[in-house]
Amino acid sequence: MKWLFSIYLLGLSFLAHGQIVIGSNTKIDSDPSSTLVTNLSVSSQADIRNLKLVLSSTQSRTFSAVGNPISVNNLTINGGNYAILGDVTVTEALVFTAGNLIVDKVASAGTLTYTGAKDLEGSDKSYVNGRLFIQGSGIRTFPIGNATGYFPARLDGVSAADASIPLGLEVISANPGFVKTPDLKDIFTSHFWEFSTGGIGVFSGNTQISLSDNTSGFFGTDGDATILELSTNGAQTDLFGSPNNSFYTSSSPMSASGKYYGLAKADEITVRIRKLITPNDDLDNDVLVVDGLDAFPDNQITLIDRWGVVVKTWKGFVNYPERTGVAQSDFNFAKLAIGNYVCVVEYTERGVRKSKKQMIAVLK
């Protein structure tokens, strides 16, 4: 049974027992204390203001705004799985008690946007299955997950410049293309997070992202948490990370071109300066080698002679494969005089600048 109605709500709370269909050109302007509770599907082409809507069902239902966007002050999901069709905006409070709000971005069936100032909270029992857009600055928490569970995320330090841009996050199951690098021990493959904007302006990229593995036990004690970013141009960046309550927060900010995010374990890599250079073309110790440094491309090496004179400085030093007989193309180690030198290595590891110094000997 479908009900077609045009009403002016006067501070009433009531339970609807039929499928609610609010026709076009209908205007609902309720008293701010009015609450509509329904355990059925809702279909609207109306201009709705002030209404507090509670979706309460034990079954799968639809919340349809096809043909005209819906805007409600308060929306509570209190049971069932409600599929969002069309564009729905919640302006004051989005409350998760039980059940899921399902937003199918693959079919482009709808969008869900929250513009309120209150931070959102979900749980294993209730969250957004799909993409959730949130406006505003400061801390923005996304109670999101997918069919396998609740995996929230958070944006920390959203700037005022981004406050009017709907920033969206969604949990996805398919690996968008993250790859292991020498300093990564393992990548969390249970799920990933996809970031997007609502098409208004450009994200400034001054925000840190926080991800939760939802107590999966992925990290344990064998490896430090790090957050990976895969940009729209396919570049993978390690944003590093540290525990922050139930989240892992990136040390570096998100980039404006970032799209996918994931968790990984960072393995400890030892940077070791080899103590001997014998440039005699025997394919053994012919060039300077710093083990482990290739994992840290943000590096600088300074080679100093016994009198404190800088012989050579490299930025972004890369080890050549051993036993190739090929020296670094910009320096001929055979020209070094026999004797002792000091090698100073500086590099950035997980956002921290480190340095090592080692005496090396040149023999011929």
The H-or-E segment that residue 67 falls in is strand 60-103
Tell me the mean pLDDT in the region 157-172.
92
CATH number (1.10.287, 2.60.40, 3.50.40, 2.60.120) of 272-362 reads 2.60.40
Q: Residue 146 in contact with residue 191, Cβ under 8 Å?
A: yes
Tokens of 108: 């482009």
What pLDDT score does 231 carry? 92
210 sits in which H/E element: strand 208-211
* Structure tokens belonging to residue 47: 């201009």
Residue type, 342: V
Average of per-residue pLDDT values in the chain: 82
The yes-or-no verdict on residue 119 having pLDDT over 70 is: yes
Distance, C-alpha 233 to centroid of its chain: 16
The predicted-structure confidence for 75-97, as pLDDT tens digits, reads as follows 999 999 999 988 899 999 999 99
Torsion angle, alpha carbons of 119, 125, 131, 134, to 10: -10
Q: In whole angstroms, what separates CA 92 from the centre of its chain?
A: 25
Q: Quick check: 47 pLDDT over 70?
A: no
Number of Cβ within 10 Å of residue 118's Cβ equals: 12
Using DSSP's 3-state secondary structure scheme, residue 270 falls into: coil
Which amino acid is present at 165? I
H helices, E strands: number in the chain: 0, 32
Domain boundaries, the chain: 2-266, 272-362
Query: Would you call 282 exposed, middle or buried from its count of C-beta atoms within 10 A (0-12, 13-18, 19+)?
Result: exposed
Comparing C-alpha atoms, which of 184, 181, 211, 180 is closest to residue 195?
Answer: 211
Write down the pLDDT at residue 357.
Answer: 94
Q: What's the pLDDT score for residue 222?
A: 57
- What is residue 1's predicted lDDT score, i.e. its pLDDT? 26
pLDDT digits (tens, 9 = 90+) for 137-158: 999 999 999 999 999 999 998 9
What is the b/e burial string over 183-202, where b = at least 16 CB atoms within 10 angstroms of the residue's CB?
bbeebbeebbbbbeebeeee
Of 296, 260, 250, 290, residue with least CA distance to 272? 290
Query: Tens of pLDDT along 257-302?
Result: 889 999 998 877 788 898 999 888 777 788 898 888 877 888 999 9
Least Cα distance to 90 among 54, 39, 43 occurs for 54
Tokens 């080899």: give the residue.
274
Kindly tell me the burial class for residue 241, based on how many C-beta atoms sit within 10 Å of its own C-beta (0-12, 13-18, 19 or more): buried
| pLDDT surpassing 60 at residue 11 | no
Task: Please determine, for residue 330, whether its predicted confidence score (pLDDT) is greater than 50.
Answer: yes
**Tokens at 222, concatenated:** 């064998």
Q: Which positions ≥6 away from 272 have C-beta within 8 Å? A: 290, 291, 292
- Cα dihedral sign, 100-101-105-108: positive
Q: What is the pLDDT of residue 32?
A: 59
The one-letter code for the residue type at 300 is Q
Structure tokens at 238: 């390690």
Using alpha carbons, select from 92, 99, 52, 54 the residue that is nearest to residue 76.
Answer: 54
pLDDT of residue 108: 59
Instruction: Determine the pLDDT at residue 104.
Output: 76
> What type of residue is 116?
G
Backbone dihedral region for residue 157 (phi beyond 0: left; psi -120 to 50: alpha; all else: beta): left
